[in-house]
């Protein structure tokens, strides 16, 4: 729309005329009898912009990234049924963006790619862990719902690759919500990342499915996994051997809260006693991993005698690892399984983790 010239008297009279014609008279009562009018000073709410993506060309765009590039902050991107083989990045400028599967069933809408940290770009440089991510979400107040994001990298298919981190999702914004989704990979499936180690970056995952085998929930952000289904994938180890590790947090020591799994189900087809619940990632001297699993069903695949282990010479006993009232074949209490007391547990809830400095509560 062309901006009117503020110095044009004719345009000024025209605008006043439009204002008079747009006033609304009261329909009943004394005001109508007196011929009074009411003028609304509240601007009309602008309709939300919905951008559609469809593989068959029936939407506005055929790729998710093209829609992201075109979207404004606060827009909604509705992704139609299909498999989208692409790398997706949501920059910080797209605050409030919503990406949703059009059918409401995450199995129908799949964003996928084959990329590992050890792969190299056109310049011959390795991608590294962050660069291996299929989807990188950097914007605050982001919502992702009803989609599958999968990194299909296979160690067996690429024995020449030694850097086998292959991230499906990097969540590195604040007040991010993921609900009704599926995130699938092997090593490093979901990265909860705080670009500033002591900054406020909170991510909430609910009613979703997450699968992996090595450190596949990891990072230094504050993240809550609430009522999710987590699958420990079977790498073929015999009972008592080693199939993998669920989590590898590297929370900054200045932060009270790292990663919480609550009210969830952890399942596995793997043999008994082949999985650790976690190990402390210690890439910097100020990293002191914080991780709690509470009110969650644990499978027989968990190493019941000691579900925590050291990482790169850093003892798990120096980390902040706790359980609370877990159930299932993989749950027990012993000297190698620190438990929260009831008073302590009151301070390690989803609400406490996510409240931050602004009282954010996406749980409802």
Determine which one of 75, 181, 188, 215 is catalytic: 215
Q: Tell me the residue length of the chain.
A: 364
Residues 32, 108, single domain; the answer is: no
pTM for this entry: 0.87
Q: What is the mean pLDDT of residues 64-72?
A: 98
Q: 252 and 315 share a domain?
A: yes
What would the DSSP string read from start to end of 257-311? --EEEES-EEE--SPTT-EEEE----SSTTB--EEEEES-B--TTB-TT--B--B
Task: Report yes or no on 66 lying in a domain.
Answer: yes
Taking only the tens place, the pLDDT of each residue in 263-315 is: 999 999 999 999 999 999 999 999 999 999 999 999 999 999 999 999 999 99
Q: In the chain, how many domains are there? A: 2
Residue with tokens 């008592």: 240
Residue 23 scores a pLDDT above 60: no
Q: Which of 230, 357, 219 is nearest to 289 (CA)?
A: 219
Task: Please check whether residues 161 and 89 belong to one and the same domain.
Answer: yes
Coil/strand/helix, residue 31:
helix
Instruction: Pull the structure tokens for residue 189.
Output: 């499936």
| Spatial distance between the Cα atoms of 97 and 106, rounded to a whole number of angstroms | 18
Where b means 16+ CB within 10 Å and e means fewer, 178-208 reads bbbbbbbbbbbbbbbbbeebeebbbbbbbeb
**Are residues 146 and 283 located together in one domain of the fold?**
yes
**Whether pLDDT at 39 is above 70:** no
Q: Within this chain, do residues 166 and 91 fall inside the same structural domain, yes or no?
A: yes
Domain housing 135: 50-355
Q: Is there a single domain that holds both residue 16 and residue 139?
A: no
Residues 25 and 80 placed together within one structural domain of the fold? no
Angle at 118 between CA 113 and CA 119, to 5 degrees: 50
Q: Average pLDDT for residues 194-201, to the nearest whole number? A: 98
Do 68 and 94 belong together in one domain?
Answer: yes
Q: Are residues 24 and 78 in the same domain?
A: no
Q: Is residue 339 part of a domain?
A: yes
The answer to whether residue 363 sits within a structural domain is no
Confirm whether 360 is domain-assigned. Answer: no
Residue 293 · residue 321 · CB < 8 Å: no
The answer to whether residue 215 is catalytic is: yes
Helix, strand, coil in percent for the chain, rounding step 5: 10, 30, 55
| Average pLDDT of span 125-139 | 98
Residues 24 and 119 reside in one and the same domain = no
**What does the pLDDT read at residue 364?**
75
Task: Give me the CATH number covering residue 127.
Answer: 2.160.20.10
**With contact defined as beta carbons under 8 Å apart, do 180 and 208 qualify?**
yes
For residues 18 and 138, membership in a common domain is answered with: no
Percentage of residues of the chain with pLDDT beyond 70: 87
């Amino acid at each position: 729309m062309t901006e009117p010239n503020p110095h044009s008297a004719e345009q000024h009279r025209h605008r006043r005329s439009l204002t008079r014609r747009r006033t609304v008279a009261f329909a009943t009562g004394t005001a109508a009898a007196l011929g009074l009018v009411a003028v609304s000073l509240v601007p009309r709410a602008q309709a939300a912009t919905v951008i559609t993506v469809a593989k068959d060309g029936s939407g506005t765009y055929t790729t998710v990234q093209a829609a992201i590039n075109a979207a404004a902050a606060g827009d909604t991107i509705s992704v139609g049924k299909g498999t989208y083989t692409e790398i997706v990045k949501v920059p910080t400028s797209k605050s409030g963006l919503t990406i949703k599967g059009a059918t409401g069933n995450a199995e129908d809408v799949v964003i996928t790619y084959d990329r590992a940290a050890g792969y190299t770009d056109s310049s011959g440089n390795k991608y590294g862990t962050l660069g291996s991510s299929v989807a990188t979400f950097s914007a605050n107040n982001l919502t992702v719902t009803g989609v599958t994001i999968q990194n299909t990298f296979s160690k067996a298919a690429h024995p020449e690759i030694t850097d086998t981190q292959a991230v499906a999702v990097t969540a590195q914004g604040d007040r991010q919500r993921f609900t009704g989704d599926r995130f699938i990979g092997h090593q490093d499936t979901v990265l909860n990342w705080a670009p500033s180690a002591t900054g406020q970056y909170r991510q909430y995952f609910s009613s979703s499915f997450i699968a992996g085998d090595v450190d596949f929930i990891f990072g230094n952000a504050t993240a809550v996994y609430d009522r999710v289904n987590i699958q420990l994938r079977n790498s073929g180890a015999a009972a008592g051997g080693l199939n993998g590790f669920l989590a590898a947090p590297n929370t900054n020591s200045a932060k009270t809260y790292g990663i919480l799994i609550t009210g969830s189900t952890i399942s596995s087809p793997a043999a008994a006693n082949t999985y650790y619940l976690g190990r402390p990632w210690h890439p910097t001297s100020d990293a002191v991993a914080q991780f709690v699993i509470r009110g969650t069903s644990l499978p027989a695949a968990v190493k019941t005698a000691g579900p925590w282990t050291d990482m790169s010479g850093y003892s798990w006993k120096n980390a902040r690892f706790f359980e609370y009232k877990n159930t299932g074949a993989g749950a027990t209490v012993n000297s190698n399984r620190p438990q929260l007391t009831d008073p302590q547990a009151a301070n390690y809830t989803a609400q406490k983790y996510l409240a931050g400095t602004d009282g954010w509560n996406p749980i409802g």
